[in-house]
């Protein structure tokens, strides 16, 4: 006996739309449990969609470029004794039709005569911004949100029946930049002119990954809207390193080693507890400060597709060994593209560490709606004056960038001094 089951998109966190970038199955394929059926991509990470059962693919309901969400039907799978031997049935011609028509809700795309679409773009329909819900598809609305554009401010829609298209959003942004105005709190600046680089020599073009594109857009919004200040300092960590090495020496050979980043996480949380403004977010209207009673720390991880930030939750309640194991697991998931959106949400503050690469200082950009980010670069031995002579000290450079609307310079300096006191003598974490 055999039966047919449906494979659907599982719970991926609070993400309304996910892009299908690659479909790895076709009708007739025999798949195993946990075999990857498709590759999905959000604005923060790519992830594999595994099969929940073994059997033969009967029908595939998605294609590259589709947008899906939790519960979307991916494929039907024949399971049971007959599944492996049963010949694949051809895909019915009508099967893909619901997927193709789904992105265009009937309420937003009224039926029109076939001859109308060609003539409509030539005569844009004026739309009002007062109490008017702009006619646009979900993908255009998402595109507008990514650019910080209020669709109600676009006075003309060049699509059918006044529908706002992606080109309308692009043209609106160009007009705002050219006029020196602003849209949704952003600052209008002259655009960088296009350059034909082929006139200088041979070139090669490669598309940016979605993670890099949307990360760039988010960082641009932060840079334009937040008054950022970066404070640089350094701390002697000889005692911390000596303790870390002694801990690792006493551990089993196959155990996950404790890194200096774990102590930085614990020290950062202790400083945040002392200065709660660093564990807050500013309300969208700028009138209230939202203080958080939890301590989740984001760790920027370098991956082939760009930086992603998995979040380690409840750092204040976990020991260094548990944090070491969790950080190692999350980092591996990030590098292999298997992080879920929920794994990258809810951070209170982010650490961006370049210690494994080098550098002496840099200016990390705040991961809004957080109000601060800590940058760490490579430690090195330096001569430090102790009052009577120079002595060698292992110095760790620290860089903290904060939102000046929430944190002033004096508080930023005090926070860094507190952080340095915990890193300089980790016994203070027990007080």
Give tens-digit pLDDT for 117-170. 433 333 333 333 444 456 777 677 777 776 778 777 786 688 776 778 888 888
Give the strand pairing for 349-353 and 297-299: parallel
Q: What is the DSSP string of 142-204?
A: HHHHHHT--GGG--EE-SGGGPPPHHHHHHHHHHHHHHT--STTPPP-PPPPP--GGGTS---
Cα 195 to Cα 175, 192, 198, 200, 306, distances in angstroms: 20, 9, 9, 10, 25
Q: Residue 59: which CATH number?
A: 2.40.50.100
Q: Are residues 250 and 380 in the same domain?
A: yes
**Mean pLDDT throughout 100-119?**
41
Distance, in Å, from the CA atom of 57 to the CA atom of 79, rounded to the nearest integer, reads 9
Q: Which of 27-41, 178-192, 414-428 has the lowest mean pLDDT?
A: 178-192
Confidence of residue 115 (pLDDT cuts 50, 70, 90): very low
pLDDT at 283 over 50: yes
Same-domain check for residues 320 and 246: yes
pLDDT for the residue numbered 162:
75
- For residues 326 and 310, the answer to whether their CB atoms sit within 8 Å is no
* Torsion over CA: 27, 33, 35, 37 (sign): positive
Q: What's the pLDDT at 249?
A: 93
Q: How many domains are there within the chain?
A: 3
Query: Is 106 contained in some domain?
Result: no
The reply to whether 260 falls in a domain is yes
Residues 69 and 139 reside in one and the same domain: no
Mean pLDDT, to the nearest integer, of 77-105?
A: 45
Question: Which residue, 70, 101, 132, sits at the end of a domain?
Answer: 101
82 and 130 share one domain = no
> Is 376 contained in some domain?
yes
Same domain for 364 and 242, yes or no, is yes
- CATH number of the domain residue 291 falls in: 3.30.559.10
Mark whether 249 and 285 lie in a shared domain: yes
The whole-angstrom separation of Cα 211 and Cα 217 is 10
For residue 175, the domain's CATH number is 4.10.320.10
Taking the CA atoms of the chain, what radius of gyration do you get in angstroms?
A: 27
The reply to whether 96 and 123 lie within a common domain is no
pLDDT at 95: 36
Q: Kindly report the backbone phi and psi dihedral angles of residue 190, in degrees, each rounded to the nearest multiple of 5, phi listed first.
A: -60, 140
Alpha carbons 378 and 356: distance in angstroms, whole number:
7
Of 54-63, 69-78, 97-106, the range with the lowest mean pLDDT is 97-106
Which has more confidence, 179 or 362?
A: 362
Measure Cα distances from 169 to 143, 144, 156, 174 in Å. 8, 7, 10, 9
Per-residue confidence band for 232, with pLDDT thresholds at 50, 70 and 90: very high
**Choice among 52-66, 174-188, 252-266, 297-311 with the minimum mean pLDDT:** 174-188
Contact criterion met (CB below 8 Å) for 294 and 348: yes
Answer yes or no: do 139 and 87 share one domain.
no
Q: Is residue 11 part of a domain?
A: yes
Give me the pLDDT at residue 211, please. Answer: 81
Q: Are residues 136 and 243 in the same domain?
A: no
Last residue of a domain, one of 164, 179, 194: 179
Residue 213, in any domain of the structure: no
Query: Does the residue 220 lie in any domain?
Result: no
List the single range of 112-116, 185-189, 222-226 with lowest mean pLDDT.
112-116
Residues serving a catalytic function are 404
Measured CA to CA, the distance from residue 368 to residue 350 in angstroms comes to 10
* Mean per-residue pLDDT over the chain, rounded: 82
Q: Look at the pTM and tell me if it is higher than 0.75.
A: no
Q: Is residue 80 over pLDDT 80?
A: no
Choose one of 74, 101, 128: the last residue of a domain. 101
Q: Are residues 339 and 278 in the same domain?
A: yes
Residue of higher predicted confidence among 376 and 85: 376
Q: Are residues 168 and 93 in the same domain?
A: no
Pairing of strands 349-353, 372-376: parallel
Distance CA 108, CA 281 (A): 36
Contacts of 390 (CB under 8 A, 6+ apart): 383, 384
Strand intervals (E) in 29-177: 30-31, 36-41, 46-50, 55-60, 67-68, 73-80, 125-126, 156-157
Q: Which domain holds residue 146?
A: 119-179
254 and 330 fall within a common domain: yes
Q: Could you identify the residue written with the tokens 């005692």?
A: 239
For residue 187, being part of any structural domain is answered with: no
User: Is the residue at 38 inside a domain?
Assistant: yes
């Amino acid at each position: 006996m055999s039966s047919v089951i449906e494979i659907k998109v599982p719970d991926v966190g609070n993400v309304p739309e996910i892009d299908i970038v690659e479909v790895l199955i076709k009708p007739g394929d025999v798949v195993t449990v946990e075999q990857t059926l498709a590759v999905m991509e959000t604005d923060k990470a790519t992830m594999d969609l595994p099969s929940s059962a073994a059997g033969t693919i009967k029908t595939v309901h998605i294609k590259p470029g589709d947008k899906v969400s939790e519960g979307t039907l991916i494929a039907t799978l024949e399971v049971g004794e007959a599944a492996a031997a049963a010949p694949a049935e051809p895909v019915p011609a009508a099967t893909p039709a619901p997927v193709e028509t789904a992105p265009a809700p009937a309420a937003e795309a009224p039926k029109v005569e076939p001859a109308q679409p060609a003539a409509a773009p030539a005569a844009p329909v004026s739309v009002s911004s007062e109490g008017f819900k702009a006619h646009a598809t979900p993908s255009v609305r998402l595109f507008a949100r990514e650019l910080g554009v209020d669709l109600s401010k676009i006075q003309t829609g060049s699509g059918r029946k006044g529908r706002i298209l992606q080109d309308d959003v692009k043209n609106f942004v160009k007009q705002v930049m050219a006029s020196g105005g602003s849209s949704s709190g952003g600052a209008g600046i002259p655009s960088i002119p296009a350059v034909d680089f082929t006139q200088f020599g041979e070139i090669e073009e490669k598309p940016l990954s979605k993670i890099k594109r949307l990360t760039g857009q988010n960082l641009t919004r932060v840079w334009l809207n937040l008054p950022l200040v970066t404070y640089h300092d350094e701390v002697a960590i000889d005692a911390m390193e000596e303790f870390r090495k002694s801990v690792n020496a006493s551990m089993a050979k196959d155990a996950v080693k404790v890194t200096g980043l774990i102590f930085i996480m614990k020290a950062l949380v202790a400083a945040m507890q002392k200065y709660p403004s660093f564990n807050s977010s500013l309300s969208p209207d700028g009138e209230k400060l939202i203080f958080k009673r939890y301590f989740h720390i984001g760790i920027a991880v370098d991956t082939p597709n760009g930086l992603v930030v998995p979040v380690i939750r409840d750092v204040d309640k976990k020991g260094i060994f548990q944090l070491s194991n969790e950080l190692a697991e999350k980092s591996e998931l990030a590098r292999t593209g298997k992080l879920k959106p929920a794994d990258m949400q809810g951070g209170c503050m982010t650490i961006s560490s370049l210690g494994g690469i080098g550098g002496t200082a840099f200016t990390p950009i705040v991961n809004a709606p957080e109000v601060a980010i800590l940058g760490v670069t490579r430690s090195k031995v330096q001569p430090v004056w102790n009052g009577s002579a120079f002595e060698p000290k292992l110095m760790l450079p620290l860089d903290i960038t904060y939102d000046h609307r929430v944190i002033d310079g004096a508080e930023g300096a005090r926070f860094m001094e507190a952080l340095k006191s915990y890193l300089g003598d980790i016994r203070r974490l027990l007080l």
